[in-house]
Amino acid sequence: MDEDQETDIINRVLNGETDAFAGLVEAYGPLLQRVIAGILNDQRHLAEEITQDVLVEAFRRLPNFDPARSPFRSWVLMIARSRALTALRKKRPTYRAVVPEVAQMPPEPRDEVWRQLDAALHQLPGKQKRALLLSQIEGLPYRQIAEIENTSVGAIKSRVSRARDFLKATLKPDL
């Protein structure tokens, strides 16, 4: 969604057409859920719950949104980051259901690669993991990630570089 579409929807919502907010939910809900799940180490159930909280909070705070300060996407991602980090600090219990038959099946080779990548991502420090996911998975520019993380572009570049180096070293096949 481009900024003109965002502005149009925001203006419509602020002028009383609250149903228009659904356009922002459709555009950014999946992104928010992926980012939050990444911060929460893939606790998908909790990520869904926090995503809903973030969208409600964004709707409630929409009159305070200032497009001159940042694009809507950056603003809502800052809210998401804050909520997800708060949830991590609270250490809510995670709910995981494993079907025994599936858990006992031998993994396929490509499944093993994904499992190793997932395990390596979970070992990354939170700041590096967030920077890597936002830049490489979500395709956000470093400038926008720096705004979301409230740091400099140089710090984001460093975090992404360190995360990549860690993954390369961790996932390097045994010789």
For each of the domains in the chain, give its residue range(s) and CATH number, in order of start: 3-90 (1.10.1740.10), 100-171 (1.10.10.10)
Q: How far apart are CA 141 and CA 91, in angstroms?
A: 30
Task: Let me know if 39 is exposed, middle or buried by CB neighbors in 10 A (0-12, 13-18, 19+).
Answer: buried
For the chain, how many residues are written?
Answer: 175
Across the range 135-147, mean pLDDT stands at: 88
154-173 pLDDT, tens digit per residue, is 999 999 999 999 988 888 76
pTM above 0.85, yes or no: no
For residue 45, the surrounding DSSP H or E stretch is: helix 44-61
Q: Are 58 and 78 in contact (CB under 8 A)?
A: no
- Residue 105 scores a pLDDT above 50: no
